[in-house]
Amino acid sequence: MKQMHITETVLRDAQQSLIATRMPFADFEAVLDEMDQAGYHSVECWGGATFDSCLRYLHEDPWERLRKIKSHMKNTKLQMLLRGQNLLGYHHYSDDTVRRFVRKSIENGMDIIRIFDALNDMRNIEVAVQECIAAGGHAQGCICYTLSPIHNLDLFVSLGKQIEEMGCHSLCIKDMAGIMSPKECFELVSALRENISLPIYVHTHATTGLGYMTYLKAAEAGAAGIDCATSCFSGGTSQPATESLVYTLAQMGFDCGVDTKILKKVNDFFIPVQQRFAASGVFDPYVLSTKTDALVYQIPGGMLSNLVAQLKAQNAIDKLDAVLAETPRVREDLGYPPLVTPLSQMVGVQATVNVLLGERYKSIGKEIKSYIRGEYGKAPGSIDAALAEKVLGGEQPLTTRYADTLEPEFDKAKEYLGGRAESEEDVLSYIAFPQQAEQYFDIRDAEKPFVAQFTIREVG
């Protein structure tokens, strides 16, 4: 019987895509032991936006959260998503920070680190991959899937070869917008299997309605595993449902290695959790509808929800269609970067600004300027000449790896924090998200019980 690995995403990408990563540890602690018995290949539970959300909204230590999850997961591998040189933030960090962060992730319980670069510039994942391997973790290199005049099968295969040469243990095709068709998936998985020997995992979203069909063709092409979400947190901008895929794949002759009775218990547990978020308005039904326009705009689910929120905040939700139409134009001007964090947010914000100001590039975001200067890596295609001239003014963009220009930052951060940092992990939290980390440290300090200290003197 053929094998198909299942990665369960409810603790990370599913809740990130549907409820903006607002699920505290207390909401799922009671089901972790059950999940550990389900037979998943891995549980994606960390990385992505979870780190930021823990500090910013949930007032949790993300490292402690990881350790707690690990204490319940004795049989199941834990998995995280890492943005290469961006780690879990939105800009490049120094190599010393990247190495420490990766090593500490593994020391605190992480098993599989899925590592990607938003531009598919493999120079930006090398350090994280090297450190993951050195620390004993499973390094999974990513190809960010996108459609454009310059992205084709040959390019993706060449990226796959680079990932294999780098020493990665497996490869993931990361289709963050759910735009990879069943045919395209079958052809890409097949081409990669013909050219490299790594196990190939496929990640997609149900946004466009293609996800279920795409996964079935991935299985037929010989993919090693797929990402799914327990059914009450599946669909829409999340992943296809775990139970539905397991049921269908079993009929196709695949052993997913999971216990379907436990899958039901896991979903039964999360139904009232989902209902609470729906009642509070955090779970917006809008994210569950099928959006075939994404096949044109290529906007990932998280990016779409961000655009809606931004426009609502500006009382300009009536401009949504104009912003959606402007997004691919901005992307073309920037050389067709894949729309994945942080590029998706950068392109979306610039498209929004262009529409709201009524003039294209009247105001250019600092991140877009950094991108054009080459600080995020090599653009996949050519950047619009007039836009480049407006930003660069005749200067040449950076062609070397931007991280090579960055000074080590860990020791300076440690010195700045002094006694406020109780661990190396605290320093890394601060480097990743300075303001949010300091706010969390303040809350943590305020919650510590007051201990009166007395000096006991011996009376003779």
Please give the tally of structural domains in the chain: 2
Q: Is residue 237 part of a domain?
A: yes
Same domain, 259 and 331: no
Same domain, 217 and 297: no
Structural domain for 316, as ranges: 293-404
Same domain, 254 and 346: no
Q: Which residues pair with 205 in a beta bridge?
A: none
Among residues 223, 256, 280, which one ends one of the domains?
A: 280
Same domain, 336 and 251: no
Give residues with Cβ within 8 angstroms of 418, minimum separation 6.
Answer: none
Residue 114 is part of a domain; what is its CATH number?
3.20.20.70
Calculate helix-pair angle for 434-447, 424-432, nearest 10 degrees. Answer: 140
Could you read off the pLDDT tens digit of each residue along the chain, which spans 460 residues?
899 999 999 999 999 999 989 999 999 999 999 999 999 999 999 999 999 999 999 999 999 999 999 999 999 999 999 999 999 988 999 999 999 999 999 999 999 999 999 999 999 999 999 999 999 999 999 999 999 999 999 999 999 999 999 999 999 999 998 999 999 999 999 999 999 999 999 999 999 999 999 999 999 999 999 999 999 999 999 999 999 999 999 999 999 999 999 999 999 999 999 999 999 988 878 788 898 888 887 777 667 767 877 888 889 999 999 999 999 999 999 999 998 888 988 999 999 999 999 999 999 999 999 999 999 999 999 999 999 999 999 899 999 999 999 999 999 999 999 999 999 999 999 999 999 999 999 999 998 775 444 444 443 3
pTM recorded for the entire structure: 0.94
Calculate helix-pair angle for 153-165, 182-195, nearest 10 degrees. Answer: 40
Same domain, 276 and 363: no
Q: Is residue 439 part of a domain?
A: no
Q: Is residue 18 part of a domain?
A: yes
Same domain, 252 and 124: yes
Same domain, 183 and 122: yes
Same domain, 28 and 106: yes
The single-letter code of the amino acid at 224 is A
Same domain, 200 and 272: yes
Q: Is residue 160 part of a domain?
A: yes
Same domain, 349 and 304: yes
Distances (CA, A) of 100 to 41, 342, 375: 26, 21, 22
Task: Looking at 135-259, list the stretches that DSSP marks H as alpha helix, in order from N- to C-terminal side.
Answer: 153-165, 182-195, 211-221, 242-251
Q: Is residue 414 part of a domain?
A: no
The 3-state DSSP class for residue 29 equals: helix
